């Protein structure tokens, strides 16, 4: 019990110190407007990549439709805040986006998640394209291919930081729960999991819906950060970007996902001045990591502070 309390307090201290350091850097001008924008982009990437890793790394499914659920959240915020341009409207739009994304994920999840591998990837990609095309053809509600502009800047780096922390904690607790153990059993051997009484379809749909709702939250934060939203922002390349972060960090490691999002975000920032070579260097860096660390930066390892206290107790004995 004492070990758990120490671990919780240590995590709270780590989160608090990180927040204070960022606040000091912003207030003293070390991090300027450009850096704050990069910081918010990294945070949104973390949320999206954690959702992707939850489905791909922990449940063993291969999704390519996260951009579609991100679009749902983005357009929900853009539409609702147009008529209610307040923070109450912003949080209401976030809730609406989560509900809609969750419902869509459940509806499409039952038939598509019976598929595996490449077939599932193609099916989820098709779902994302259906969502995008539906947005394009929704008339004045979404303003078609031209998108919506003039969205107020509701998203701040503090808000993104809070959502990253909350979503990371929710996902880690989900994975470590009894349901999470069933998710891992489906990843390891679906047939054996069914033989042990696990409702594999239900587990996969629940996980898929959870990831879809987190993608919707990221979409709401994204539109409150960019100030405009167009359907072309949510193509397959958007899903692949977050898939790369999940794979680079290590499938089955939320800590790795967070580290990879920071590494790639900082790398992109430094490569802005060499735009002609940026994608070449970026791709080369990914190739080198995959060659020398095929399991990702952290593999399946997590940063678990409770282990530190376990070691101290053993050393004391």
How confident is the model at residue 165, as a pLDDT? 93
- DSSP conformational letter for 118: H
Contact indicator for 25, 31 with CB cutoff of 8 Å: yes
Q: What is the mean pLDDT of residues 235-260?
A: 87
Cβ neighbours, 10 Å, residue 46? 28
pLDDT digits (tens, 9 = 90+) for 259-309: 989 988 888 888 777 766 777 777 787 788 778 777 777 777 777 655 555
CA-CA distance, 171 to 29, in Å (whole number)?
34
How confident is the model at residue 1, as a pLDDT? 47
Output 252 or 44, whichever has higher pLDDT.
44
Quick one: CA torsion of 300, 304, 308, 313, rounded to 10 degrees?
A: -100
Give SS3 for 229.
strand
Q: What is the mean pLDDT of residues 59-64?
A: 85
How confident is the model at residue 190, as a pLDDT? 84
Give the chain's mean pLDDT. Answer: 86
Question: What are the distances in angstroms from CA 134 to CA 142, 152, 197, 214?
Answer: 10, 24, 38, 21
The residue extents of the domains of the chain are 32-235
The 3 state secondary structure assigned to 124-171 is: HHHHHHHHHHHHHCCHHHCCHHHCECCCCCCCCHHHHHHHHHHHHHHH
pLDDT digits (tens, 9 = 90+) for 165-216: 999 999 988 988 888 899 999 888 888 888 888 888 889 999 999 999 999 9
Cβ neighbours, 10 Å, residue 236? 16
CA-CA distance, 232 to 132, in Å (whole number)?
8
Q: Which residues pair with 148 in a beta bridge?
A: 229
pLDDT digits (tens, 9 = 90+) for 132-145: 999 999 888 898 88
Cβ neighbours, 10 Å, residue 129? 17
Of the candidates 296, 245, 289, 243, the one whose C-alpha atom is nearest the C-alpha of residue 268 is 245
pLDDT digits (tens, 9 = 90+) for 83-133: 899 999 999 999 999 999 999 999 988 888 777 777 788 888 888 999 999
How confident is the model at residue 122, as a pLDDT? 87
Whether the pLDDT of residue 243 is over 60: the answer is yes
With vertex at residue 303, the alpha carbon angle to CA 216 and CA 292, rounded to the nearest 5 degrees, is 90
Output 164 or 241, whichever has higher pLDDT.
164
- Categorise residue 153: left if φ over 0, alpha if ψ from -120 to 50, beta otherwise: beta
pLDDT digits (tens, 9 = 90+) for 71-82: 999 999 999 998
CA-CA distance, 203 to 206, in Å (whole number)?
5
How confident is the model at residue 40, as a pLDDT? 93
How confident is the model at residue 309, as a pLDDT? 52
pLDDT band at 223 (very low <50, low <70, confident <90, very high): very high
How confident is the model at residue 79, as a pLDDT? 93
What's the pTM value of the predicted model, to 2 decimals? Answer: 0.89
How confident is the model at residue 54, as a pLDDT? 92
- DSSP conformational letter for 300: T
Give the number of C-alpha atoms closer than 13 A to the C-alpha of residue 208, restricted to the C-beta side.
Answer: 29
Contact indicator for 147, 227 with CB cutoff of 8 Å: no
Per-position DSSP letters for 12-41, written without gaps between them: HHHHHHHHHHHHHHHHTTSS-HHHHHHHHH
How confident is the model at residue 187, as a pLDDT? 87
Contact indicator for 63, 124 with CB cutoff of 8 Å: yes
Measured in whole angstroms, how far is the alpha carbon of residue 297 from the centre of its chain? 17
First to last CA, the chain: 18
């Amino acid at each position: 019990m004492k070990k758990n309390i120490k671990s919780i307090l240590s995590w709270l201290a780590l989160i608090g110190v990180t927040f204070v350091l960022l606040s000091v850097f912003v207030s003293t001008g070390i991090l300027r407007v450009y850096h704050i924008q990069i910081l918010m982009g990294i945070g949104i990437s973390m949320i999206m990549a954690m959702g992707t890793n939850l489905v791909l790394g922990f449940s063993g499914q291969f999704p390519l439709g996260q951009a579609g659920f991100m679009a749902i959240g983005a357009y929900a915020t853009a539409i609702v805040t147009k008529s209610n341009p307040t923070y109450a409207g912003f949080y209401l739009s976030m809730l609406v986006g989560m509900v809609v994304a969750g419902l869509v994920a459940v509806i499409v999840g039952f038939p598509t998640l019976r598929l595996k591998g490449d077939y599932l990837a193609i099916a989820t990609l098709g779902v994302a394209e259906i969502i995008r095309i539906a947005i394009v053809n929704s008339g004045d509600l979404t303003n078609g291919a031209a998108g919506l502009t003039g969205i107020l800047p509701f998203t701040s780096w503090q808000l993104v930081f809070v959502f990253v922390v909350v979503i990371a904690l929710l996902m880690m607790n989900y994975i470590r729960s009894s349901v999470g153990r069933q998710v891992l059993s489906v990843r390891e051997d679906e047939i054996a999991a069914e033989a042990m009484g696990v409702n594999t379809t239900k587990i996969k749909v629940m996980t898929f819906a959870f990831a879809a709702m987190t993608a919707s939250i990221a979409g709401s934060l994204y539109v409150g950060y960019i100030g405009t939203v167009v359907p072309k922002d949510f193509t397959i390349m958007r899903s692949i970007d977050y898939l790369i972060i999940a794979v680079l960090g290590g499938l089955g490691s939320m800590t790795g996902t967070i580290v990879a999002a920071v590494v790639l975000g900082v790398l992109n920032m430094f490569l802005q001045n060499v735009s002609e070579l940026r994608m070449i260097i970026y791709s080369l860096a990914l190739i080198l990591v995959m060659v020398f660390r095929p399991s990702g930066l952290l593999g399946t390892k997590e940063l678990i502070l409770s282990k530190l206290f376990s070691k101290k107790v053993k050393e004391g004995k």
